Structure 1
Amino acid sequence: MVRVLFVCLGNICRSPMAEGVLRVKAQSAGLALDVASAGTGDWHVGEAPDLRAQEAAAARGYDITALRGRLAVRADFSRFDYLLAMDRKNLAHLQRLAPTSFNGTLRLFLDYAPDAPVREVPDPYFGSEDGFAPVLDLIEEAADGLIRHLRT
């Protein structure tokens, strides 16, 4: 089974939305994946996703209410095959954390959405509710691309 970890800063907006999206899309595609999410900062450990993220996800059929924030740790590199960062800052954090023995995939999530107009998933946390739908658009596009990649 392929194991995927999505990583953003606080693990309450982008990465839990990506976790929820990929779970549903993988199931619909008949792929058995182990999907999780984490943050590089510890401010929201144990907290549910941001209410705006929950509402935006639910509007598209993704239930992320049971997810809880957690910190990305060095042990994740032995548990997961893919560690996918939402932006370059979190990717750099993961690169510093990665053991030299890691032979999985560590990259930006939007690398799987080559036609997306941006390379990083913007953080909607400090904006309004309106910022979550465009973020979900990018996440859905990248999730589709990741599923295509995993099928090859």
Structure 2
Amino acid sequence: MPPSVPGQPRSYNCRGQASPAFQDLSKIAVEALNVGLEAVRPGRTCSQVEREFRRALARHGIEKESRIGYPTGIGFPPASGERTASIRRGDETVLEPGMVFHMMPGLWLGNVGITITQSFVVSDTGFEPLTATPRELFIK
């Protein structure tokens, strides 16, 4: 069993079946991620993308206040204090073709959490994923 951190839930890596509640949370996370990605269009703002993601979560009674995405690129590691585009409420940065982001909407609820992510480039018509990995929960 991994060591516990005072005040934090234990983290377990396991094989086998995930609980139904965890599987349900993974489906909600993927649904909201896909809604957010589908909201990506040149001319929209980071805030508009985040709002669509947040609405998808709200249909399930879940709120998320923190950002759901950040820009990526050579020599640009993400940090909590960067002064550039961030897919979050209030960021009015206008999306343009060629911008690259990592959408990582982690959901941390009580003693369970999940994040299923997607890196993408803003294309002329929407988003283009930078990986071919399915956006789903993998169970061994």
Do they fold alike, i.e. is TM over 0.5? no
Q: TM-score of the superposition, structure 2-length normalised?
A: 0.29
Structure index of larger Rg: 2
Q: TM-score of the superposition, structure 1-length normalised?
A: 0.28
